Amino acid sequence: MIEKISKNLSPTKQKEQTVLEILPNDTDETKLLRLKNGSWDNTKEPWLVYDEKQQLHALLSIETLSKMIEHFKQAEQETLFLKLEKSILQQLPLDFQDVWTVAMEEINKSKKKEIDFDKLIKKIKKEHPNLFLDLKDLYLPEGSSIISATTR
């Protein structure tokens, strides 16, 4: 199990992986840490720690944890931007950037944590119809259709 976790968490070789074990002590307030593998001087993370119940834990520096949290936040923001982009494109914007700007203003004004982008863009389309293509405005002579025009 430790080999699999080591490969997923860190590119370090297993021999370099620091593995610790928590051992009981005479008092409940203190425990002993025993080095099972690797080195105390190893700066490669994570350090793996077995507790008294043989459950495996990962030990990270605050710096590494902060970087991970920042990456998660960036990934979440990118996902939200992709969802917003999809909602905008589904409504056939004439100028994507204009719609994006209005949507971002609405999002920044909103106090909601969760925003339904489809509803937001439909609201913007209703309030600012000039920003979107309206299929009714496309002129097709009466009695013609796209199908009949393409088959002629």
- Which tokens sit at 123? 């609201």
Q: Based on the fold, state whether residues 56 and 31 are members of the same structural domain.
A: yes
Q: Based on the fold, state whether residues 80 and 29 are members of the same structural domain.
A: no
Q: How many CB atoms lie within 10 A of CB 127?
A: 10
Confidence band for 149, pLDDT divided at 50, 70 and 90: very low
Q: Based on the fold, state whether residues 80 and 43 are members of the same structural domain.
A: no
Q: Is residue 150 in some structural domain?
A: no
Residue 6 has what pLDDT? 57
pLDDT in tens, 118-134: 999 999 999 999 999 98
DSSP 29: T
pLDDT in tens, 106-122: 999 988 889 999 999 99
Q: Is residue 143 in some structural domain?
A: no
- The whole domain housing 32 covers 2-60
- Which tokens sit at 149? 């025009």
Domains held by the chain: number:
2
Q: Is residue 94 in some structural domain?
A: yes
Q: Based on the fold, state whether residues 97 and 123 are members of the same structural domain.
A: yes
pLDDT in tens, 24-65: 888 888 999 999 999 999 888 999 999 999 999 999 999 999
Confidence band for 14, pLDDT divided at 50, 70 and 90: low
pLDDT in tens, 69-104: 999 999 999 999 999 999 999 999 999 999 999 999
Q: How many Å apart are CA 69 and CA 95, to the nearest integer? A: 35
Average pLDDT over residues 3-15: 59
Q: Based on the fold, state whether residues 120 and 76 are members of the same structural domain.
A: yes
Q: How many Å apart are CA 123 and CA 128, to the nearest integer? A: 8
Picking from 60, 83, 108, the residue at the C-terminal end of a domain is 60
